[in-house]
């Protein structure tokens, strides 16, 4: 079982913009993160995850970016997100359960994030999950990938 941790939780009230970090958030089953524009419940992309390792790659290229700048909901550390097949289940903190529902995404046009940040790693390196069991998520929570 691989383990990682939550580096940052990020939300916004509009889609296509950088998200602002929050210390704690409520995740609702079959919905997403309360207060976030992407939480709608009716689709498979309820929460987005991006590794801090991906953000650091962009920083190494000279971009001034931090967690949330690529519109990811949860910035992770220590898990190779792209190696997780669809259907992989993860536990976050004490009781939140999510399932990988999509790897990467197609960007049909360059969004505000691309122009604000100078590039975007989310389409290639981000993943999406649906919420099987909700709860409170906070910075530093452990993420366990179930085998």
**Do residues 122 and 71 lie in contact, with contact meaning Cβ atoms separated by under 8 Å?**
yes
Query: d(Cα 121, Cα 54) in Å, to the nearest integer?
Result: 7
pTM value? Answer: 0.89
* CATH code of the domain containing 75: 2.40.33.20
Q: What is the pLDDT along the chain (147 residues), one digit of tens a residue?
A: 789 999 999 999 987 778 999 999 999 999 999 999 878 777 888 999 999 999 898 888 788 889 998 889 999 999 999 899 999 999 999 899 999 999 876 655 565 556 655 556 566 788 999 999 999 999 999 999 997
Residue range of the domain that includes 74: 3-145
């Amino acid at each position: 079982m691989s383990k990682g941790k939550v580096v940052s939780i990020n939300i916004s009230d509009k889609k296509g913009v950088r998200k602002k970090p929050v210390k704690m958030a409520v995740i609702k089953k079959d919905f997403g993160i309360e207060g976030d524009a992407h939480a709608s419940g009716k689709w498979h992309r309820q929460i987005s995850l991006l590794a801090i390792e991906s953000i650091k790659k962009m920083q190494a290229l000279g971009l001034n970016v931090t967690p949330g700048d690529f519109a990811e909901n949860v910035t992770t550390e220590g898990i190779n997100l792209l190696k997780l097949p669809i259907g992989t289940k993860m536990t976050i903190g004490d009781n939140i359960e999510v399932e990988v529902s999509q790897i990467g995404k197609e960007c049909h046009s360059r969004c505000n994030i691309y122009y604000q940040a100078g590039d975007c790693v989310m389409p290639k390196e981000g993943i999406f999950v649906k919420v099987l069991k909700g709860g409170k998520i906070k910075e530093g929570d452990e993420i366990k990938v179930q085998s």
